[in-house]
Structures are given as structure tokens and as C-alpha cells.
Amino acid sequence: MKHKVILDTDPGIDDAMAIFFALAHPEIDLLGLTTVFGNVSVAQASINALTLLELAEAQLPVALGESWPMARDPVPFADFVHGIDGLGEQFLPPPHGQVINQSSAEFMIEQIMSQPGEINVVAVGPLSNLARALELEPRIAQHVKQVVLMGGSIEHRGNVSPVAEANIFADPHAADVVMQAAWPLTIVGLDVTYKVLLEPSLFEAIRQHNPRIGAMLQRAAEFYTDFYSQEHGVNGCYGHDVSALAYVVQPDLFTVIEGPVCVATEGIAAGQTIMKRVKGDAYFVKDWNTRPEHKACMQVNTKALIDLFYQTLTNDYWR
């Protein structure tokens, strides 16, 4: 049976890779995209989501989501990472389609409640839509199949502060609400996504075998790679968001640990995802003790994941 997926996204160059992967993977039934502010404004994220679907000749609902963090001041958009337009400053023609008449949270709730136990929510932006959906309909926690999110880090250093990852830092209060819900949740964070380096030769090969989106994706990847080569001294860019979808279809590519998670919401550590990894009443500070256990990916089979990405971006879907 196919995995029914709602992709919650802030496109974003690596989000674009994730959207194309979700559309083309034969075992994913992509039900729709829900947008959120993050790499760009939510308005631009929605334009990009519609544009990417049209490039891929796919017709799917796109719902407009949260434009603002729950409680913190907004963080400036990372135009130096993804470009002013979010897709590597290609300034693609505007899409023909429009967002649906439901918010991201409403779309998630309707889908989850009408298909109990079947929906995978894969969140690859700030967690504001998921927090809003929980606030509107807490029973989604019992009815969702699982939540898989790209965000946070357990041991690896952060990418917006020494301890914080961008998606969590953008709305740490929302992330903490999401961590408190008793739903099956897996963190696909920087511990594994920094092991998924996508080199220029991969995008060249995709371009050669996928004329529909290959050239656009290659140009976007070049912009993204410029950032990572300057910041990290690597020849490539990281497949952060697509790694979360890879977990849905092939969880065996990852090793996971489990424990309750608190998110630091204020101060110098804001955005840090802190997992209690020892069982029982081990500490003087009790905040973790009442929280549900979640999973976090710590290791990944890098070669197999990159191969899966390449196969999916060049398969029969694109012919």
C-alpha cells in the first residue's frame, strides 16, 4: 500500500527536491502541499509550491499556512541560502494555479480525521502549521499515522546557532507544542542530513535524464551549493528535506534513538532540541518526565539515500 503523505513545506531549494521526490516516488501518494513561512514568506512559499507542481505537471491542492511564529519575533528570511525568491533567484514565471480555500492546518485536520491511521505528515519547514492544527483539533495526534520532520539536532552542531537548527529556531514554541503531543514522531535532523551531501555531478546526471525539471533543479542546486561551499568548504549541497521523505519510504536506511524531547524556547539556546536519552527518573529537572517518547535519526546509509534520490528523480514518472 502506498504511503499517503501531506508535505508541509517552505520552498526553499531543498524543499523543491523533496516535492519532486514525493511526486515521483512510486510508493508515495502525495495528497497535497501545505505551506508555511520559513525560507521565504508564506505567500512566496505558496507561489513556489504551485510553480514547482506546474513544472512537474502535477495537479494537487496547495494550502496556505502560518505567516508568523507563535510567540517569538520573526527571523529574517535566509535569502543568502535559498535566494530572494527561495528557488535560487531564477525568478520563474508566476504559476497559473491558486491555493485552496482552506488553511494548511484545516487541510491537515480534514485529511487526518477522515482517514484515521493513514496519513503521514512530513514537515520540512517551521512547525507552526502542525502546532496550529493541534490547537484546533487535538485528536489529530491519535489519528495521524506518523509525523516525520526535518528539523533540530540531537548531537550535531546547529546551523543558525551553535545548538539550533533553522526550522526549529524559526518557531521554537510551535516545535515544543509538537514535541508534547503523543503521536508517533521521528526527527530527521542535522545528525543525519549533514551526511547527505549532493554533489554537482548528481544534478548534471538528473538534468541529462530528466529534461522536465532537470535544468531548473540544477540551477537551484548551484545557488545552494555556492552557499555551502562558502560556509562549509564542501562541493555540494545538503539534502535536508528529502531525507525526511526517504525515512517514510525506507526507514531501514536510518538508525534511531528514542526519548522525550523539550525545545528551548527562550534565551541563548532558543531552538535547541534536547532529548532525554536515559530512562527513568534520572534527573533533578523533571520537564521531560511527562512527555511522550519520540524517535530521532542518528545514522544514515548515505550512499543508498543518494541513490534513491537519483533513481526517483529520473524514473518513469518524468517520461
Q: Which of 5, 288 has the CB closer to ligand BDR?
A: 5
Q: Which of residues 47-76 bind ligand BDR (CB under 6 A)?
A: none
**Part in contact with ligand BDR (CB under 6 A); list of ranges 11-19, 97-105, 265-273, 302-310:** 11-19
Count the neighbouring beta carbons within 10 Å of the beta carbon of residue 228.
17
* Cα distance between residue 122 and residue 240, in whole Å: 12
Does residue 39 belong to the site contacting ligand BDR (CB under 6 A)?
yes
CA pair distance 182, 180, nearest whole angstrom: 6
The residue count for the chain: 319
Long-range contacts, stretch 227-231, CB < 8 angstroms, 24+ apart: 227/80, 227/81
Maximum C-alpha span of the chain: 59
The rounded Cα 102 to chain-centroid distance in angstroms is: 21
CB under 5 A: which stretch of 47-55, 59-67, 103-111, 117-125 binds Ca ion?
Answer: 117-125
| 15 is an interface residue for Ca ion by CB under 5 A | yes
Contacting range for ligand BDR; rule: CB under 6 A; set: 140-148, 165-173, 211-219, 280-288: 165-173
C-alpha distances (whole Å) from 63 to each of 15, 55, 233 are: 16, 18, 37
CB nearer to ligand BDR: pick between 14 and 85: 14
Among 81, 185, 221, 253, interactor with ligand BDR by CB under 6 A: 81
- How many chain residues touch ligand BDR (CB under 6 A)? 15
Residues 175-214 touching ligand BDR, rule: CB under 6 A, are none
Residue from 299, 287, 279, 224 nearest 261 by CA: 287
Rounded to 5 degrees, what are φ and ψ at 123? Answer: -105, 120
* 15: contact with ligand BDR by CB under 6 A: yes
The phi, psi pair for 235, rounded to 5°, reads -100, 80
Stretch that binds ligand BDR, among 96-104, 139-147, 162-170, 294-302 (CB under 6 A): 162-170
Member of 83, 125, 259, 271 binding Ca ion (CB under 5 A):
125
Residue nearest to ligand BDR (CB): 166
Q: Which residue has the cell 518524468?
A: 318
Backbone angles phi, psi at 45, to 5 degrees: -60, -40
Q: Is the peptide bond before 151 cis (omega within 30 degrees of 0)?
A: no
Query: Least Å distance between CB 138 and ligand BDR?
Result: 26
Does 241 engage in binding with ligand BDR (CB under 6 A)?
yes
- Of 145, 173, 240, 276, the one binding ligand BDR by CB under 6 A: 240
- Write out the catalytic residue numbers: 10, 240
**Are 171 and 69 a contacting pair, CB within 8 Å?**
yes
Where on the chain is the footprint of ligand BDR (CB under 6 A)?
12, 14-15, 39, 78, 81, 124-125, 150, 159, 165-167, 240-241
Where on the chain is the footprint of Ca ion (CB under 5 A)?
10, 12, 15, 124-125, 241
